[in-house]
Structure 1
Amino acid sequence: MAVNVLNAFVGTPPIDGGVFFRAPVGTTLPTDALSALDPRFNDHGACGEDGITVAQTRDNTDIKMFGGKTFVNVQTNYDETITITLLEDDNEAVLKTSFGDANVIITEATTTSGTKKTIYHTADPLPISSFVIEAISGKKTKRYVIENGQVVSVAEIKDVHNNVTSRTLTIKTYAPTSVELQGGNVVEYRDDGTYAVSGGPSTLAVTTTNLPAGKVGEVYSQTLTATGGTGSKTWTIDTGNLPAGLTLSSAGVVGGTPTAAGTPNVTFKVTDSASATATKSLTVTVTV
């Protein structure tokens, strides 16, 4: 078989979203590599340069027969873990995943003090949660979905002058309860981004899967993306309203300075020069 470099996957963070997400067990899981995540999946921000490590362990033993030769080898254990380093130490999602939701208390800023965080380092086991981890390689997208996973290790934390405070998490995965996942502790979805050729332009589709949260009073700018279609593309809002202070340009830029918190669901529409359209509903979150 000839060598084909196009089969390579060089993992990088998605352009328009995060890498590592966590949600309570029972949250609707994605069933492909590109669909929008349920808003309950919280983005954990920037990840370390070592990327994502997925480790499968298969323990086995030889069954011997009379005379000492091996009769058969049987698998005695299967385990799968995910390891990732999170760089945003002050990110609320990172803290709650590292210490437990109930052990992170946040008090909003007042006119006399900033936002306060109290973090309790306890011996309580961290909760079983659902996780989604994403990476891209050019047009390719790879998404790992874990219905039942648990953070079982947080590596040593260092506060030093020459590096950021980071948290390296190890997530132990368990068998799923959903029949559709076919027993996979981890289910991996891929999309190579190459559309079938039908003699004409490929189908117009919105490729943005989620929008990062903004904050009241801070400048916000995110560009919506789409593939396929013919010629230039124009963006509009089909249904819903953006949070106060944000607008959508015809080029697909959601921008401005939010003036009020909210989590509205907005359906964006893109139209190409042949009047073909595509829509995508996304949650636009603004916090205080």
Structure 2
Amino acid sequence: MTVTVKNVFVAQSIDGGVYWRAPLGTEQPTDATSPLDDAFENQGTCSKDGLSVGIARSSKSEQDFDGVDYVDIQDEYNGTFKLTLMDVELESVKKTAFGDEKVTFEPATTSHGNRYHVEHSQDQLPLSSHVFWTRSGKKMKRWVVEVGRVTDIAEMKAQRDASTKLELTIKAKRNSNGNLVEEYGDDGEKLPATPTTKTVTITGSPTGGTFTLSVGGQTTSALPNNATASAVDTALEALSTVGTGNATVTGSAGGPYSVTLANGGTLTATSSLTGGTNPGVTVS
């Protein structure tokens, strides 16, 4: 085994955030890097104390007649997350701490500023979905709690020499897979892409109509039958699955075109060409 500091993880926030919450039933992330569903609300900045991840497992032993440990029995397993939030005036933070139905916000008017009202109730807080997301350089790590509840709130201090903070404890329940927590990681070390080069040929001598090209599930804008190589290049690079500078297209207006995709990918074409004899477009 080669020991290397590359295996160390020093946690940092994702654009300032560490913790997101959404209603039950929200689509759950299944990796460490893809964007979260819009229903997940950022809970703001976490204090330097960081995020505590408590995955606890404990067992007890039963002894035989001679007093020797004979069988061990797992008697506890839980997933608990604890963190301290600094943006205590955020609407999303107040709703997480006190309940969605217990917090109301009123926008500013000419007679008063933005207002809020929090009902401090003994009612148990609702079950929600929770995501904890951090990075370490290019590495990313994400813990997903599909079903969990805020169970504890620590004392909040209002003082002149420090900002008010809110310490929360979230406990995980069984998810749809029967687990408490799903953890995902990505070290950010992508393999170099293998460029692909294809020839796009317009057949049947069309006199009008359009055609489109697709890469990775995204489709270009409609291109005329006599599109220049430059127009085809621009249309391809407009796709997020290709990107600026990642396509090279050569050839005459109306084709054939030689298309090179720097990041690889499958190139397909669809024809709405007209005129000529059985007009179409092929990729080979």
Instruction: State if a TM-score over 0.5 links the two structures.
Output: yes
State the match for 2:5 in structure 1: 5
The 1:113/1:12 distance shift into structure 2, 3 A limit, reads: same
1:148, distance to aligned residue in structure 2 (A)? 0.7
State the match for 1:171 in structure 2: 170
Alignment RMSD (CA, Å):
2.2
**Structure having the higher Rg:** 2
State the match for 2:245 in structure 1: 273
Partners of 1:270 and 1:152 in 2: CA distance: 46
Partners of 2:133 and 2:73 in 1: CA distance: 34
State the match for 1:62 in structure 2: 61
Partners of 2:44 and 2:188 in 1: CA distance: 24
Partners of 2:189 and 2:104 in 1: CA distance: 46
Unaligned ranges ≥5, structure 1:
202-237, 240-266, 279-288
The 1:43/1:277 distance shift into structure 2, 3 A limit, reads: farther
Partners of 2:130 and 2:148 in 1: CA distance: 7
The residue correspondences of 1:102-181 to structure 2 (distance < 5 A) are 102-176=101-175, 178-179=176-177
Partners of 1:200 and 1:13 in 2: CA distance: 34
Partners of 1:84 and 1:277 in 2: CA distance: 43
Partners of 2:115 and 2:195 in 1: CA distance: 56
The secondary structure found in structure 1 opposite 2:189 is: coil
The secondary structure found in structure 1 opposite 2:243 is: strand
- Normalising by structure 2, we get a TM-score of 0.69
Tell me how many residue pairs correspond in the alignment. Answer: 210
Q: Deviations over 1:112-171 (max 9, x none)?
A: 111110111110111110001110000000011000110010110001111111101000
Partners of 2:191 and 2:5 in 1: CA distance: 20
Letter in 1 for 2:182: V
| Cα contact 1:54–1:82 (8 A) shared by 2 | yes
The secondary structure found in structure 2 opposite 1:85 is: strand
Letter in 1 for 2:6: L
Letter in 2 for 1:194: E
Partners of 2:117 and 2:240 in 1: CA distance: 38
Partners of 1:144 and 1:106 in 2: CA distance: 30
The 1:117/1:57 distance shift into structure 2, 3 A limit, reads: same
Partners of 1:103 and 1:37 in 2: CA distance: 25
- Normalising by structure 1, we get a TM-score of 0.68
The secondary structure found in structure 1 opposite 2:93 is: helix
Letter in 2 for 1:67: D
State the match for 1:184 in structure 2: 179
Q: Deviations over 1:203-254 (max 9, x none)?
A: xxxxxxxxxxxxxxxxxxxxxxxxxxxxxxxxxxx99xxxxxxxxxxxxxxx
1:77, distance to aligned residue in structure 2 (A)? 1.6
Partners of 1:268 and 1:87 in 2: CA distance: 35
Unaligned ranges ≥5, structure 2:
197-219, 222-238, 248-260, 264-284
Partners of 1:133 and 1:119 in 2: CA distance: 25
The secondary structure found in structure 2 opposite 1:98 is: helix
The secondary structure found in structure 1 opposite 2:27 is: coil
1:269, distance to aligned residue in structure 2 (A)? 7.6
The 1:109/1:33 distance shift into structure 2, 3 A limit, reads: same
| Cα contact 2:193–2:262 (8 A) shared by 1 | no
1:69, distance to aligned residue in structure 2 (A)? 0.7
State the match for 2:99 in structure 1: 100
State the match for 1:86 in structure 2: 85
